[in-house]
């Protein structure tokens, strides 16, 4: 199986709370950074899929389990893997780390929708780009 996509950046001061710890909702933003990098690594961006095909990946479920705090100026690594793919659903899992410390683990489930907000199938080109890189898939 393919190595996870890695996204690297430093915690910005604005991401911390009054206690100097990263505010919990920022981890969901970091997952989005990981997802976007994952797609780019496979040859496309969300912007392309939305613009060319009018297909959107709506978040249907998101969760995050926090293990240790991140603080200002920590180098963060978000490891992103696709754990499920079919014509209507894509699932990603994330490990968020600083150094060897696991800060959080998360998961997001996305439903492919059209501009009308109704479910639709993933456009074939994007399905293939995701599948061609050793992704787990389901044939339905």
Q: What is the 3-state secondary structure (H, E, C) of 96-127?
A: EEECCEEEEEEEEEEEEECCCCCECCCCHHHH
| Domain boundaries along the sequence of the chain | 5-131
Active-site hit among 17, 37, 73, 132: 17
pLDDT for position 112: 98
pTM of the prediction? 0.90
pLDDT of 110 higher than 80 = yes
pLDDT of 137 higher than 50 = no
pLDDT of 86 higher than 60 = yes
Catalytic-residue membership of 132: no
Q: Does domain 5-131 have CATH number 3.30.390.50?
A: no
pLDDT for position 3: 75
pLDDT of 134 higher than 70 = no
**What phi and psi values does residue 94 have, to the nearest 5 degrees?**
-135, 145
Exposed, middle or buried: residue 46 (CB in 10 Å: 0-12, 13-18, 19+)?
middle
* Alpha-carbon gap, residue 5 to 7, rounded angstroms: 7
Give me the mean pLDDT over the 23-45 stretch. 96
pLDDT of 133 higher than 60 = no
């Amino acid at each position: 199986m393919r190595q996870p996509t890695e996204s690297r950046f430093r915690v910005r001061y604005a991401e911390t709370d009054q206690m100097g710890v990263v505010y919990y909702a920022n981890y969901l933003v970091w997952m989005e950074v990981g997802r976007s990098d994952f797609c780019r690594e496979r040859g496309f961006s969300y912007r392309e899929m939305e613009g060319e095909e009018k297909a959107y990946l709506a978040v249907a479920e998101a969760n995050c389990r926090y293990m240790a705090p991140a603080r200002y100026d920590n180098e963060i690594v978000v490891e992103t893997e696709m754990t499920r793919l079919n014509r209507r659903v894509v699932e990603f899992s994330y490990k968020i780390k600083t150094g060897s410390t696991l800060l959080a683990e998360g998961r997001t489930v996305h439903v492919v929708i059209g501009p009308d907000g109704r479910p639709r199938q993933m456009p074939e080109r994007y399905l293939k780009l995701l599948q061609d890189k050793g992704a787990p898939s389901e044939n339905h």
